[in-house]
């Protein structure tokens, strides 16, 4: 999932991380593919970023098969990447031609930027990272579906205390502590800071996300998170906004709002349902202590 404009909005709430000088041992669930994408598979850069939390209990969670709801998005990415690869080949052909070095330098720069932007995950990259984690005795598990579902379930089941990801959807799901890799350092976002600043609750934040647009599906022409927050804070809910006829809202179907919210809720009855069976043993170190 992805909430339109929410990442930029949350930048104002980012703050420095200091997990090194604490007697508390945090259990940190890490969205593994989020890090791999962020640093384009560069393991050295990943662990340089993770340095402030390496003394804590880390659990890396890998994505499984993408759900059907994301197949259209994946196809769009593939087509977009195909267009970019074609541009790269065209620029490389220009480098073979009889043009001045200044122009060639311009093409080389564009090729480098396009190659960075079009980087894709491969099984080789995944396996290399997993092999590294094994060699360093780090715990990792694989989700049957997407990693965010497992991380949300584990958080609410008290297996982890913090989530680390570039995905702001975890805040929408009610995760109270989110670590975010920003350039080469970690920043922390506290959900409480957002809710207190905006004077809304967790359930209303989900409504804000839906109003902004999720998975490229927009139900309004609003393109500003702060505007969406103002509306939800004033009217309380999307249903109330519709009843007051404040702005044009087009829902794809009647139960759209409740269905989208459901995607952000944890599976409280079976929190390990999306964890691959053979990986559940690695969760023993994170299992909540019985009182």
Per domain, the residue ranges of the chain are: 6-68+121-192, 71-117, 195-262
Pairing of strands 139-142, 57-62: parallel
How high is the mean pLDDT of the chain? 88
115 has pLDDT over 90: no
Average pLDDT value for residue range 105-109: 83
Average pLDDT value for residue range 205-221: 86
| pLDDT of amino acid 78 | 66
Q: pLDDT (tens digit, 9 = 90+) per residue, 82-92?
A: 777 777 788 78
Distances in whole angstroms, Cα of residue 89 to Cα of each of 77, 109, 120, 260: 18, 14, 17, 40
| 1, 215 contact by CB (below 8 A) | yes
Q: pLDDT (tens digit, 9 = 90+) per residue, 128-163?
A: 999 999 999 999 999 998 999 999 999 999 999 999
Q: State the CB neighbour count (10 A cutoff) for residue 31.
A: 26
| pLDDT of amino acid 224 | 87
Are 6-68+121-192 and 195-262 in the same CATH fold?
no
- Per-residue confidence band for 73, with pLDDT thresholds at 50, 70 and 90: low
Q: pTM of the predicted model, to two decimals?
A: 0.86
CA distance 171 to 264: 10
CA distance 246 to 164: 37
CA distance 98 to 203: 61
Interhelix angle 101-117/71-95, rounded to 10 degrees, is: 160
* The CATH number of domain 195-262, selected from 3.30.2420, 1.20.120, 1.10.150, 3.30.1360: 1.10.150
219 has pLDDT over 90: no
User: 164: helix, coil or strand?
Assistant: strand
- Per-residue confidence band for 13, with pLDDT thresholds at 50, 70 and 90: very high
Distant-in-sequence, close-in-space partners of 38: CB < 8 Å, separation ≥ 6: 46, 166, 181
CATH of domain 6-68+121-192: 3.40.50.1010
30 has pLDDT over 80: yes
């Amino acid at each position: 999932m992805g909430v339109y404009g929410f990442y930029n909005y949350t930048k104002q709430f980012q703050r420095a991380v200091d997990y090194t000088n604490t007697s508390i041992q945090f259990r940190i669930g890490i969205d593994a593919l989020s890090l791999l994408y962020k640093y384009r598979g560069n393991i050295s850069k990943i662990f340089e970023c993770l340095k402030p939390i390496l003394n804590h209990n880390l659990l890396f969670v890998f994505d499984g098969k993408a759900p059907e709801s994301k197949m259209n998005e994946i196809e769009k990415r593939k087509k977009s990447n195909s267009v970019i690869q074609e541009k790269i080949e065209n620029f490389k052909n220009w480098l073979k031609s009889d043009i001045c070095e200044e122009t060639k330098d311009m093409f080389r720069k564009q090729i480098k930027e396009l190659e960075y932007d079009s980087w894709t995950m491969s099984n080789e990259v995944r396996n290399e990272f997993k092999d590294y984690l094994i060699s360093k005795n780090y715990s990792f598990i694989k989700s049957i579906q997407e990693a965010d579902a497992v991380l949300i379930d584990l958080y609410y089941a008290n297996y982890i205390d913090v989530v680390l990801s570039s995905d702001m959807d975890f805040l929408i799901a009610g995760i109270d502590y989110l670590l975010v890799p920003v350039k080469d350092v970690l920043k922390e976002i506290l959900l409480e800071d957002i809710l207190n600043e905006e004077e809304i609750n967790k359930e209303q934040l989900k409504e804000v996300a839906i109003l902004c647009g999720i998975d490229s599906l927009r139900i309004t022409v609003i393109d500003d998170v702060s505007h969406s927050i103002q509306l939800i804070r004033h009217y309380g809910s999307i249903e109330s906004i519709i009843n007051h006829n404040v702005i044009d809202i087009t829902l794809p179907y009647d139960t759209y709002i409740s269905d989208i919210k459901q995607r952000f809720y944890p599976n409280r009855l079976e929190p390990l349902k999306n964890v691959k069976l053979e990986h559940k043993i690695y969760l023993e170190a994170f299992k909540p202590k019985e009182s």
